Amino acid sequence: MTTSPAVRPTTSVLAGVDSPADLRALPRDRLASLAEEIRLFLVDRVSRAGGHLGPNLGVVELTIALHRVFDSPSDRIVFDTGHQAYVHKILTGRRAGFGRLRQGGGLSGYPSRSESDHDAVENSHASTALSYADGLARGFALRGQSHRRVVAVVGDGALTGGMGWEALNNLGTDDAAPVIVVLNDNGRSYAPTRGGLARHLAELRRAAGDRHSGPNLFQDLGLAYLGPVDGHDVDAVEAALRRAAALGCPVVVHCVTVKGQGYAPAETDEADRLHAVGVVDPRTGRPTSVSPRDWTSVFAERIVDIGRRRPEVVAITAAMLRPTGLLGFSREFPDRVFDVGIAEQHAVTSAAGLAMAGLHPVVAVYATFLNRAFDQVLMDVALHRLPVTFVLDRAGVTGPDGASHHGVWDLSLLAAVPGLRVAVPRDAARLATLLDAATATDTGPTALRFPKGAVGADIPAVAEVDGIDVLRTARDARVLLTGLGPLARVCLEAAELLARHDIGATVVDPLWAVPLNPCLPRMAAAHELTVTVEDNVETGGFGARLAHQAAASPRPGRVRTVSLPHAFLPHDSRDALLARAGLDARSIVRTVLTSLRPGTADLRGTAVQTHDRLHPLRSARRTARS
Binding site: which residues?
83, 124-126, 156-158, 186, 263, 344
Element (H, E) at 531: strand 529-537
Residue type, 430: R
Q: Which residue stretches of 357-467 are H helix?
A: 367-370, 374-375, 410-415, 428-440
Binding residues for thiamine diphosphate: 83, 124-126, 157-158, 186, 263, 344
What is the Cα 542 distance to its own chain's centre?
22
Give rounded-to-5 percent helix, strand, coil for the chain.
Answer: 40, 20, 40
Residues forming the active site: 259, 344, 372
Contact 588, 491 (CB under 8 A): yes
Give me the phi and psi of 149, to 5 degrees please.
-90, 150
Q: What is the DSSP letter of 186?
A: -
Cis peptide before 63, with omega less than 30 degrees from 0? Answer: no
Closest CA to 415 of 529, 537, 582, 300: 537
CB atoms within 10 A of CB 612: 14
Contact 47, 279 (CB under 8 A): yes
Q: DSSP readout, 23-67?
A: HHHS-GGGHHHHHHHHHHHHHHHHHHH-EE-HHHHTTHHHHHHHH
Widest CA span of the chain, in angstroms? 84
* Residues ≥6 apart with Cβ < 8 Å to 295: 393, 431, 450, 451, 452, 453, 455
Q: Which residue stretches of 207-343 are H helix?
A: 217-221, 234-247, 264-267, 295-309, 327-332
Q: Which residue stretches of 58-192 are H helix?
A: 60-69, 86-91, 129-142, 162-171
The span from the CA of 375 to the CA of 370, in Å, is 10
Contact 372, 378 (CB under 8 A): no
Q: Which residue stretches of 224-382 are H helix?
A: 234-247, 264-267, 295-309, 327-332, 344-356, 367-370, 374-375
Binding residues for Mg(2+): 156, 186
Q: In terms of DSSP bridges, do strands 51-52 and 276-277 run parallel, antiparallel, or are they unpaired?
A: antiparallel
The span from the CA of 91 to the CA of 25, in Å, is 13
**Can you point out the beta strands (E) in 175-281?**
180-185, 224-230, 251-256, 276-277
Residue type, 530: T
Q: Would you mind telling me the total number of residues written for the chain in this entry?
A: 626
CB neighbour burial string for 143-159, b if at least 16 within 10 angstroms, e if fewer: eeeeebbbbbbbbbbbb
Residue type, 300: A
Residue type, 420: L
The span from the CA of 367 to the CA of 558, in Å, is 31
| Distance in angstroms between the alpha carbons of the first and the last residue of the chain | 68
The span from the CA of 40 to the CA of 621, in Å, is 45
